[in-house]
């Protein structure tokens, strides 16, 4: 893991002091609400429906048991004893008091954490594959690059007041688990024909009101030029992105207006002036960042230890969990384990302070004290010995983390929606729960197989509904909460945006609609065909016919 | 005469800022819109300088950079960040060495970033106390990026 040096710590400390003074001036009436708003947003502080909400950065989803304990402490001391993991690998506290926020930030700084740029019109937390560093299909470790980007983007003087928010994702594996096609900038770490490490650069993807799949602006950017190139992209966006209409202010709109060729040429032109400048990364710089992400002290272990095979023979439920909630590891004898935060009846991503402490303990006992936050709102223990899996499963069950539903229908991505969010058109958590209750039969759930179901409470798309195989979007119809359903979206290498199937539904009808959609899938699927593959093959019409069939 | 921050101090401003596109300039040092400055600067008895809107095309200004005592960049709202890029272009790409002034919605909380990108004078909004704002130039003691004020990024300096 990256560890702060003296300067990192000093800068974060100075940001806490700066924000403390900004908060003081706001409370004293020296800063108007309008003036304070962008400042607090750039420190992750929203004023929500019930209370402020503070979003804390987990840079590229990486954190330690020590940091988790601090988050638990904050949840207990300043909040109502729980927190919420978001779809951007961050964590949110829903009930802090404004005047306490500087103290919370100071506590976070003690464990090398902050809330810098977790909201606002600036470069946000860089995200990546939650299995980075351990995934069996990893080509190149994206994490050193993520840290390089974190540093470059943190308090960048030129790019603090962009036209709109700006999100960067980095992927280094065969399967893109970082959704690089739907970010303002997506970077795929690749090697060129000469074996040099660099990036395929995608620009202009994004969800929200106008969902767009990104476009390639550079097939191969040599690694050492990453920062000067990012400066060039951001400068073009900062200067020419629209500022007159916030719905047209994202970089995707600029790319469309200029055409991707026009945009790429403009960036290239700008970059010619910046290329080889002082921010060019030398081999020793890249090596320095990589040195924080070396493999931990793995033991040499035989695969399939008897502790594992004996438990598999004895416990079918354990086998099911093993299949669904663990992933192949680069190191023989180890697996990465997903702790599900999608237990029926618990809002997706929510976790209590006691559970957070328990996760910290598990990370230490079954690993090297490291934890990952996944954008699917689950937690990951990256380095679990196969011989410990049964013991971990037993403990995870006690704590409610062992629902064997990772990647299945009930592992929903779901934004906080109308229960918490001031922007919502509709509630999302009760809808997620209704679906989880309807599909609580594990055999049926497993038979349905992998289905990404994503749910957003409004067009801002924090629940990434466009890239759900099944997407649900809360809409407002004459002051009532309705839900629009999309089919056929997907993240990853074959990223696509879902299409609306027809008129929206009342909340109570959603489980029934799901029954019908999945009924069509069951009836029409070919052997071994996953839900999304069936949708791609047969199209939307059969689903529409079933869902909107007239009752006689 | 109003107070501004210049070279790290609060001082009385010698310049008069004219917002309107008028050719009737009082007999003193004036800062006027770029277009007007380009067409009328030679007829003026005192010093004159242009101010740039955030979307200004600076190409017309480039031939004059070496002679200009001052350039001002306007911030119609403090959330409009285009002026930061303009400042870096003028300083870093075109080598402008004279006074670079931020005008408009200029507030304490943006001063540090403005200074980093090349501004050295700040017409803090008139309803705010320039002396109180001055301290913000010290908000941070270091930073990660290359800027006009920092020739090397942090990663080349810390180990
Ligand atoms: S999608 Fe809308 S309702 Fe949901 S969290 Fe985002 S802004 Fe709020």
- Please write the tens of the pLDDT for every residue from A370-414: 999 998 999 999 999 999 999 999 999 999 999 999 999 999 999
Average pLDDT of span A314-323: 95
CB A115 within 8 A of CB A23: no
User: CA separation (Å) from B143 to A6, A293, B104, B108?
Assistant: 12, 23, 26, 18
> Is beta strand B30-33 parallel, antiparallel or unpaired with respect to B16-17?
parallel
Dist. CA A269–CA A42, nearest whole Å = 30
pLDDT digits (tens, 9 = 90+) for A402-451: 999 999 999 999 999 998 888 899 999 999 999 999 999 989 999 999 99
Angle CA(A189)–CA(A194)–CA(A200) in degrees, nearest 5?
25
* pLDDT class of A551 with cuts at 50, 70, 90: low
CB contact under 8 A, B113 and A14: no
pLDDT at B18 over 90: yes
Domains A134-292 and A413-549 equal at CATH topology level: yes
Residue A205 has pLDDT above 80, yes or no: yes
Q: Which residues of B touch A159 (CB under 8 A)?
A: 81, 84
CA dist A134 → A223, A271, A296, A331, A451 (Å):
22, 34, 10, 8, 24
Tell whether B79 is within 8 A of chain A (Cβ).
yes
CATH fold of A306-399: Sulfite Reductase Hemoprotein; domain 2 (3.90.480)
Ligand 1 midpoint to CA A442 (Å):
30
Confidence of residue A495 (pLDDT cuts 50, 70, 90): confident
pLDDT of residue B103: 98
DSSP string, A449-462: -B--EEEESSTT-T
Mean pLDDT of A326-341: 96
Rounded CA-CA distance A465/A463 in Å is: 5
Quick one: tokens of A129? 């594959």
Structural tokens at position A488:
């056929």
Q: Are A407 and A446 in contact (CB under 8 A)?
A: no
Coil, helix or strand for A366? coil
d(CA A541, CA A528): 22
Handedness of CA B58, B60, B64, B69 (dihedral sign): negative
SS3 content of chain A, % helix, strand, coil (to 5): 40, 20, 40
The number of folded domains in chain B is 1
State the nearest Cα–Cα gap between A430 and chain B, in angstroms.
37
Q: What pLDDT shows up at residue A47? A: 82
CATH label of the domain that carries residue B154: 3.40.50
* Nearest-angstrom CA–CA distance, A181 and A450: 21
Give the nearest partner residue to A22 out of B82, B93, B109, using CB atoms: B109
pLDDT > 80? residue A6: yes
CA distance B121 to B114: 9
Residue labelled with tokens 């800022």: B17
**Centroid of ligand 1 to alpha carbon of A378 (angstroms):** 19
How many angstroms is it from A417 CA to the middle of ligand 1?
A: 5
Asked whether the predicted pLDDT for residue A357 surpasses 60, the reply is yes
Distance between terminal CA atoms of chain B?
A: 48
Q: Which residue of A has its CA nearest to B78?
A: A161
pLDDT in tens, A247-270: 999 999 999 999 999 999 999 999
Cα–Cα distance, A9 to A274 (Å, whole number): 29
> Which chain B residues touch A155 with a CB distance below 8 Å?
140, 143-144
The residue whose C-alpha atom lies closest to atom 2 belonging to ligand 1 is: A458
Cβ of residue A158 closer than 8 Å to a chain B Cβ: yes
Pocket test for ligand 1, best of A426, A460, A471 (most atoms within 8 A of CB): A460
Is the pLDDT at A552 greater than 60, yes or no?
no
Average pLDDT over residues A278-301: 96
Outline where A132-225 has alpha helix (H): 143-153
Q: CATH number of A6-110: 3.30.70.870, 3.40.50.150, 3.90.480.20, 3.20.20.70?
A: 3.90.480.20
Order of strands across the sheet with A45-47?
A45-47, A52-56, A91-93, A82-85, A350-352
**What is the residue whose two structure tokens read 């910290």?**
A360
Give me A181's structure tokens: 């096609």
Domain boundaries along the sequence of chain A: 6-110, 134-292, 306-399, 413-549
Ligand 1 centre distance from Cα of residue A415 (Å): 6
> In angstroms, rounded to a whole number, what is the distance separating the alpha carbons of residues A17 and A102?
8
Residue B55 contacts residue B82 (beta carbons within 8 Å): yes
CA distance A302 to A319: 19
The stretch A181-201 carries a mean pLDDT of: 95
- Computed over every residue of chain B, the mean pLDDT equals 95
The fold for domain A134-292 equals Sulfite Reductase Hemoprotein; domain 1 (3.30.413)
Helices (H), A326-372: 353-365
B37 CA to chain A: closest CA distance, Å? Answer: 23
Instruction: Compute the mean pLDDT over every residue in chain A, rounded to the nearest whole number.
Output: 95
Three-class SS of residue A434?
helix
Structure confidence at residue A48 (pLDDT): 66
Average of per-residue pLDDT across A53-63: 96
Asked whether A323 and A384 are in contact (CB, 8 A), the reply is no
> At how many degrees (to 10) do helices A316-325 and A389-398 cross?
90
For domain A413-549, give its CATH number from 1.10.287.130, 3.30.413.10, 3.40.30.10, 3.40.50.620: 3.30.413.10
* Model confidence at B158: pLDDT above 90: no
- Whether residue A160 and residue B143 make contact (CB cut-off 8 A), yes or no, is no
pLDDT at A24: 95
Q: Is B89 helix (H, G, I), strand (E, B) or coil?
A: helix
| For residue B14, pLDDT beyond 60 | yes
Percent of chain A with pLDDT strictly greater than 70: 99
pLDDT the model gives residue B24: 87
Nearest to B154 among A38, A151, A160 (CB): A151
Q: Which pLDDT belongs to residue A519?
A: 96
Q: Which H or E run includes A474?
A: strand A470-477
Task: Provide the pLDDT for residue B42.
Answer: 87
Gap between the Cα atoms of A186 and A188, Å rounded = 7
Contact indicator for A471, A448 with CB cutoff of 8 Å: no
Q: Considering only the C-alpha atoms of chain B, give the largest distance between any 2 of them, rounded to a whole number of Å.
A: 58
Q: For A431-436, which contacts have Cβ atoms below 8 Å and span 24 or more sequence positions?
A: A431/A455, A431/A472, A431/A474, A431/A483, A431/A507, A431/A510, A432/A347, A432/A348, A433/A344, A433/A345, A433/A347, A434/A507, A434/A510, A434/A511, A435/A409, A435/A410, A435/A510, A435/A511, A435/A514, A436/A342, A436/A344, A436/A345, A436/A410, A436/A412
CA distance B117 to A551: 67
Q: State which residues form the domain around B84.
A: 3-158
User: What is the least distance, in Å, from the CA of B98 to any CA of chain A?
Assistant: 20
**Cβ neighbours, 10 Å, residue A528:** 7
Q: Does A39 touch chain B (CB under 8 A)?
A: yes
- In this predicted structure, what is the pLDDT of residue A303? 87
Cα–Cα distance measured from residue A164 to residue A123, given in angstroms and rounded to the nearest whole number: 9
Q: Which of A6, A14, A87, A102 is nearest to A54 (CA)?
A: A102
How big is the A-B interface in CB pairs under 8 Å?
A: 101
């Amino acid at each position: 893991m990256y560890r702060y040096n003296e300067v990192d710590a000093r800068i974060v400390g100075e940001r806490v002091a700066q924000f403390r003074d900004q908060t003081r001036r706001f409370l004293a009436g020296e800063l108007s609400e309008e003036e304070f708003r962008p400042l607090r947003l750039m420190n992750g502080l929203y004023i929500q429906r019930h209370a402020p909400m503070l979003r804390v950065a987990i840079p590229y989803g990486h954190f330690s048991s020590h940091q988790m304990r601090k988050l638990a402490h904050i949840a207990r001391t300043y909040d109502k004893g729980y927190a919420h993991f978001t779809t951007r690998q961050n964590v949110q506290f829903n009930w802090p008091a404004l005047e306490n926020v500087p103290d919370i930030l100071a506590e976070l700084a003690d464990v090398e954490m902050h809330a810098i740029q977790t909201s606002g019109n600036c470069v946000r937390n860089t995200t990546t594959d939650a299995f980075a560093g351990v995934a069996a299909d990893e080509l190149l470790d994206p994490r050193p690059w993520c840290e390089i980007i974190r540093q470059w983007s943190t308090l960048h003087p030129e790019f603090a007041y962009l036209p709109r928010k700006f999100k960067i994702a980095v992927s280094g594996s065969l399967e893109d688990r970082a959704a690089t096609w739907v970010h303002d900038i997506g970077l795929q770490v690749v090697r060129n024909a000469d074996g040099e490490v660099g990036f395929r650069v995608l620009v202009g993807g994004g969800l929200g009101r106008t969902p767009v799949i990104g476009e390639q602006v550079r097939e191969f950017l040599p690694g050492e030029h990453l920062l000067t190139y990012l400066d060039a992209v951001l400068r073009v966006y900062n200067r020419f992105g629209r500022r007159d209409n916030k719905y047209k202010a994202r970089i995707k709109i600029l790319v469309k207006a200029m055409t991707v060729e026009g945009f790429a040429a403009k960036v290239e032109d700008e970059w010619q002036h910046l290329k080889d400048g002082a921010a060019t990364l030398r081999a020793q710089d890249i090596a320095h960042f990589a040195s924080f992400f070396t493999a931990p002290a793995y033991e040499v272990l035989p695969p399939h230890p008897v502790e594992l095979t004996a438990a598999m023979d004895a416990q079918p439920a354990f086998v099911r969990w093993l299949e669904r909630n663990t992933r192949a590891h680069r190191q023989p004898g180890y697996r990465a384990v997903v702790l599900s935060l999608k237990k029926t009846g618990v809002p997706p991503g929510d976790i209590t302070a006691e559970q957070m402490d328990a996760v910290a303990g598990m990370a230490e006992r079954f690993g090297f004290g490291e934890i990952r936050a996944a954008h699917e709102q689950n937690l990951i223990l990256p380095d679990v010995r196969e011989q410990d899996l049964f013991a971990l499963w037993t403990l995870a069950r006690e704590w409610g983390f062992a629902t064997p539903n990772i990647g299945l229908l009930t592992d929903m991505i779901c934004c906080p929606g109308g229960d918490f969010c001031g922007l919502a058109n509709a509630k999302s958590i009760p809808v997620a729960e209704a679906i989880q209750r309807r599909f609580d039969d594990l055999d049926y759930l497993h038979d349905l197989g992998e289905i990404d179901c994503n749910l957003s409470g409004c067009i801002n798309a924090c629940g990434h509904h466009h890239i759900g195989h099944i997407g649900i979007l809360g809409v407002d119809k004459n002051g009532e909460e309705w839900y629009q359903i999309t089919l056929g979206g997907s993240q990853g290498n074959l990223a696509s945006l879902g299409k609306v199937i027809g008129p929206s539904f009342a909340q109570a009808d959603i489980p029934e609609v799901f029954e019908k959609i999945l009924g069509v899938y069951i009836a029409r699927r070919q052997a071994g065909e996953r839900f999304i593959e069936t949708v791609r093959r047969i199209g939307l019409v059969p689903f529409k016919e079933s869902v909107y069939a007239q009752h006689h | 005469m109003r107070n501004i921050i210049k070279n790290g101090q609060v001082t009385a401003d010698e310049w008069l800022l004219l917002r309107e596109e008028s050719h009737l300039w009082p007999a003193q040092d004036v800062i006027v819109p770029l277009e007007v400055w380009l067409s009328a600067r030679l007829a003026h008895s005192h010093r004159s300088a242009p101010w740039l809107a955030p979307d200004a095309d600076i190409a017309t200004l480039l031939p004059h950079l070496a002679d200009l005592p001052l350039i001002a960049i306007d911030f119609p709202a403090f959330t409009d960040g285009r002026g930061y890029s303009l400042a870096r272009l003028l300083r870093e790409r075109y080598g402008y060495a004279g006074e670079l002034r931020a005008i408009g919605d200029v507030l304490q909380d943006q001063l540090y970033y403005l200074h980093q990108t090349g501004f050295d004078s700040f017409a803090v909004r008139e309803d705010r106390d320039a002396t109180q704002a001055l301290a913000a130039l010290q908000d941070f003691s270091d930073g990660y990026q290359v800027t006009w004020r920092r020739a090397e990024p942090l990663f080349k300096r810390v180990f």
